Chain A
Amino acid sequence: MSAAEQTAEQKKFNMDTVANAAATPQTELPWAELGLKHNEFEEVVKVLGRRPTAAELAMYSVMWSEHCSYKSSKNHLRQFGDKVTEEMKKDMLVGIGENAGVTNLGDGWAVTFKIESHNSPTMIEPYQGAATGIGGIVRDIISMGARPVAVMDPLRFGAIDHPDTARVIHGAVAGIGGYGNSLGLPNIGGEVVFDSVYQGNPLVNALAVGIMRHEDIRLANASGLGNKVVLFGARTGGDGIGGASILSSESFDDTKPSKRPAVQVGDPFAEKVLIECCLELFKGSLVEGIQDLGAAGISCATSELASNGDGGMDIELTSVLLRDPSLTPGEILMSESQERMMAVVSPQNVAAFEAVMDKWAVEYSWLGEVTDTNRLVIKWDGEVIVDVDPRTVAHDGPVYDRPYARPQWQDALQADTFKASAAGQNLPATGAELRAALVELMASPNMCSKDWVTNQYDRYVGGNTALATPDDAGVIRVDEETGMGVALATDANGRYTYLDPYHGAQLALSESYRNVATSGAIPLAVSDCLNFGSPEDPDVMWQLAEAIRGLSDACMELGVPVTGGNVSLYNQTGTTAIHPTPVVAMLGKFDDIARRTPSGWRADADGQAIYLLGTTFDELDGSEFANIRGHLGGMPPKVDLAAEKTLGAILINASRDGMIDSAHDLSEGGLGAALGEMALRYGVGARVALDDLCERDGVDAFTALFSESQARAVVAVPRSEEVRFNDMATARQFPVVRLGVVDAASTSLEVQGQFDLDLAELREAHEATLPKYFG
């Protein structure tokens, strides 16, 4: 179809112009079907001083959705910006509010990273839902002017043996792999958790990290009168219309758009070309402002660019290149078709911009220009169909103080401790029982090897991956000359957060901090993805409020600022919400990644001393051990941020000074799981004894092996460094106990006086679980 025919076809729509809207105030509009509440629709009318046009209504409905406006969480999220010291701001080059935060790395380098959710689309269509989650977060990173260098994905699925779990995990993992692998981005870590609470609401979060030179930082704003606005990348189609609204649990009825899939369809090749094309634009300084098209598509890009700029914007919507010529203006504005970017280009750079597009064979169309009217004006073949103050669309959406209250059941839940429960009786006590319990733990869905998942991802591409799953953190080299690099870890524990949202969120932060420090990196900044149920349920709203309060308090204490993130609400089926799951992504920095610490000992570590750092308490509530026995109650492990800080400093300094050759943090599964994982990492055995630990901390062997006390790590120390290492821990008054030695001649993990566990048997149990269920 020619452009002229296309325009003629489009003209057949009954255009609802601004003039028409002003003349026909009584026209009924489908605001409820588009997900707006009555008070919100009235607010739109008040803002405009008239009824909105159909196109304006479409824009407001998506931009004021929960997903885009954060209307339920905004009042609480402010704490991330408020609880920040000057020291924490020191390295923050760009904070919350832009596409992604930017942190200084030194030597002129900067890093940007962000984590987002793609939960609902993945439930509906696992492959495309998960794939486009990667695509979206990668475009956020490009929008900042950075080259994406790695991705990670924390995943949470329903029960491992539920038939629908296989559908979701096969699709989601293949989608993440299919998309991410095609972009040439190593996937360096994440999590895989199974719990029936996620049965109808799997959590698929995606993180991307990018690096750039300071001068390359780009922001999403449209400034400079007369500058041109261009849309480039894939064509706009009917996919993903209302995606943001679905994410806000406000799905369409049986109107025209609802017949189309609300899940976007990804084209990784188009994205890969778009990445290279954008980097070439940045290198030539050919764009003044740039914004990716994600949720709410052109509505979001135009209103955010215009409201962040110093003027207004005039757009001709019929200039948008379409995949489907039957789309209405409202649909074009709402479409979430993937692999699209919008940029602002000064007139003198237009030719150079077009040359880059032509080189990479990327389609583009000039939509309009920056004005000085402070209005966002969108025309359809010359007729004005949108005339709004862009701030009212992008930033002045409704904000709710949702009622919240501590759930009535919370006290009973916390009183139901594991060891007092029926499930907590007949605990393993003999060596044989402890051995069997450890094998069962290491084979359990949450503790088993995740190779089935991670082997479907390319972790090597780029040649800069220094550590990846199953190590504690993913580590990427940034500068080949100096060896400077970054470490990333993502963590969350929905069970802990369910038991105590305030401390549960802090435990997620603690673990991610510990993981990054264990790899040897200095923790620098946080991005968070807050996955919760419906904010309209006061119980859930309390969980959210408590988690944000806890997380922001702890970030302040650890001195790591939140630079961005995402809130995903309405993750619930009927009245049953998921466990509150605040996923914390921690970014750390290495001056030289040659000093990174792997999570297991190699054969050449024979004879190295194995130490446990930290104190072991009787903390089994909410643990993996209790989970295997089907119990969830009591209080999660105690948060001790001061201890986390000291432990982190010890691990980082010991790594830098060559005092430790391997280290692994203790988290889910406790010491037993940590020792098992360290031995399996390179298949090298060890001999340890628990007696000194049990005597010092007043715990039995079972508690020593399976308690999930925080602020602990196991390290392997070369004999020559033992004195120095002990002195350092003592100087910091941090508890340390020698457990045993690495034994390269041994093929087992021997816990003296308790059991001898053959590594081949342990590996078999550890690695068989996912293939058994998923093929």
Chain B
Amino acid sequence: MSATELPLIGDYSTPVTALSGARIGVVTFPGTLDDRDAARAVGLAGAEAVSLWHADSDLADVDAVVIPGGFSYGDYLRAGAISRFAPMMDKIIDAANSDAKLPVLGICNGFQILTESHLLPGSMIKNDHLKFLCRDQVLRVDNNSTAWTNQYAQGEEITVVLKNQDGQYVADEKTLDALEAEGRVAFSYVGWNPNGSRRNIAGITNAAGNVVGLMPHPEHAVEAGFGPDHTGTDGLGVFASVLTHLVGGQK
């Protein structure tokens, strides 16, 4: 398509030639909102964004997958509860658990889908203040060894956009203890816990480090002028990390 055409959801192309040769899938469900933003972030990081439709079951040979934010199926029943059964999710779950350990990032609604899929433990409930909240949020990178965080310094504080209605991360005490003990808390809220999440958890990873779920939105902090306070680009590191991971680079 020409660059001046309005892209349809799930029908975008990366305008620049992918620098890395990496192909990163972005999944669109009915009600997904941030897929074009995620695709833009992938492109800015230097990879090619590949649209994946929820009802398809072909992973299109992608090297990694982003499950973006939004209100898939309107969050009806429970956020992520319906999307989790999409044919595309079956493929993603298998690939994430396979020996190849496909890198998977779930953002916001994507994180909710990952917990519903049991790729990550715990669940998300309504914010403790019961309101949708949109703000610029400071996070701490608690684990910089995952496929999606290796470009950050351990303990680095970054500012990205937070916007959610059901962002309160909950799990039983045993799971929370294990997450902390195993270093599987990838991001935590700094300064103020915006939704009542247990132990200030903003994002977690699986044991292998290839699957990460994150409530705030790094894809909204990748372009100067359009990120937090209209200047921040701290989120780009998430997408740069997966490219580094894929090309086998070291920090």
Contact = CB atoms under 8 A, between A and B. Distances in A.
A273 B30 contact: yes
Interface in B28-79: 30-31, 33-34, 36-37, 40, 70-71, 73-76
A466 B70 CA distance: 21
Q: Is the interface of A mostly helix, strand, loop or mixed?
A: mixed
A456 B131 CA distance: 7
B31 A594 contact: no
B132 A108 contact: no
B226 interface: yes
A467 B230 contact: yes
B184 interface: no
B135 interface: yes
Contacts of B161: 460
A629 to B, nearest CB: 33
Contacts of A174: 131-132
B140 interface: no
Contacts of A279: 6, 8-9
A269 to B, nearest CB: 3
Given A108-B4, A213-B5, A456-B132, A361 B30 contact: yes
Contacts of A40: none
A361 B222 CA distance: 33
B15 to A, nearest CB: 7
B31 A269 contact: yes
Contacts of A335: none
A465 B226 contact: yes
Nearest to B10: A276
B134 A455 contact: yes
A458 B163 contact: yes
Nearest to A275: B9
A456 B4 contact: no
Given A147-B6, A269-B74, A467-B230, A460 B30 contact: no
Contacts of A108: 4
Interface string B68-110: 0011011110000000000000000000000000000000000
B4 A213 contact: yes
Contact of A107 (B4, B70, B225): B4
A589 interface: no
Given A269-B73, A279-B8, A461 B37 contact: yes
Contacts of B223: 463
Interface in A454-510: 454-467, 477, 479-481
The interface centre, meaning the residue of A108, A178, A461 with most chain B CB atoms within 10 A of its CB, is A461
A283 B132 contact: no
The interface centre, meaning the residue of A276, A454, A457 with most chain B CB atoms within 10 A of its CB, is A276
A469 B32 CA distance: 25
B3 interface: yes
Nearest to B224: A594
Contacts of A461: 33-34, 37, 163, 220
A477 B74 contact: no
A477 B224 CA distance: 13
B18 to A, nearest CB: 17
Nearest to A775: B129
Contacts of B15: 480-481
Interface residues of B, number: 38
A454 B30 CA distance: 26
Interface in B103-136: 131-135
A467 B227 CA distance: 10
Interface in B175-232: 217, 219-220, 222-223, 225-227, 229-230
A181 interface: yes
A309 interface: no
B144 interface: no
Interface string A676-720: 000000100000000000000000000000000000000000000
Contact of A463 (B36, B131, B133): B36
Contacts of B220: 460-461, 463
A280 interface: yes
A212 interface: yes
Contacts of A360: 30
A109 B132 CA distance: 34
Contacts of B222: 463
B30 A466 contact: no
A184 B219 CA distance: 14
Contacts of B71: 181-182, 268-269, 272
A268 B75 CA distance: 10
Interface string A98-139: 000000000111000000000000000000000000000000
B17 to A, nearest CB: 15
B165 interface: yes
A213 B34 CA distance: 22
Given A211-B6, A456-B132, A459-B134, A181 B30 contact: no
A232 to B, nearest CB: 15
B6 A466 contact: no
A213 B4 CA distance: 9
Interface string B1-23: 00111101100000100000000
The interface centre, meaning the residue of B37, B131, B134, B227 with most chain A CB atoms within 10 A of its CB, is B134
Nearest to A270: B74
Contact of B132 (A107, A178, A216, A682): A178
A390 interface: no
Contacts of A465: 226
A634 interface: no
A481 B4 contact: yes
A267 interface: yes
B30 A269 contact: yes
A464 B220 CA distance: 10
Contacts of A582: none
A276 B8 contact: yes
B48 to A, nearest CB: 17
A361 B72 CA distance: 13
A269 B132 CA distance: 16
Contacts of A466: 225-226, 230
A152 to B, nearest CB: 15
B134 A272 contact: no
B158 to A, nearest CB: 16
9 contacts: A182-B71, A216-B6, A279-B6, A279-B9, A361-B30, A460-B227, A462-B36, A465-B226, A466-B226
Interface of A: 107-109, 147, 174, 177-178, 181-184, 211-213, 216, 267-270, 272-273, 276, 279-280, 283, 360-361, 454-467, 477, 479-481, 593-594, 598, 682
Given A460-B226, A463-B223, A480-B15, 19 more contacts: A108-B4, A109-B4, A182-B31, A183-B33, A184-B70, A213-B5, A267-B74, A269-B73, A270-B74, A272-B74, A273-B30, A458-B163, A460-B220, A463-B219, A477-B226, A479-B4, A480-B3, A481-B4, A481-B15
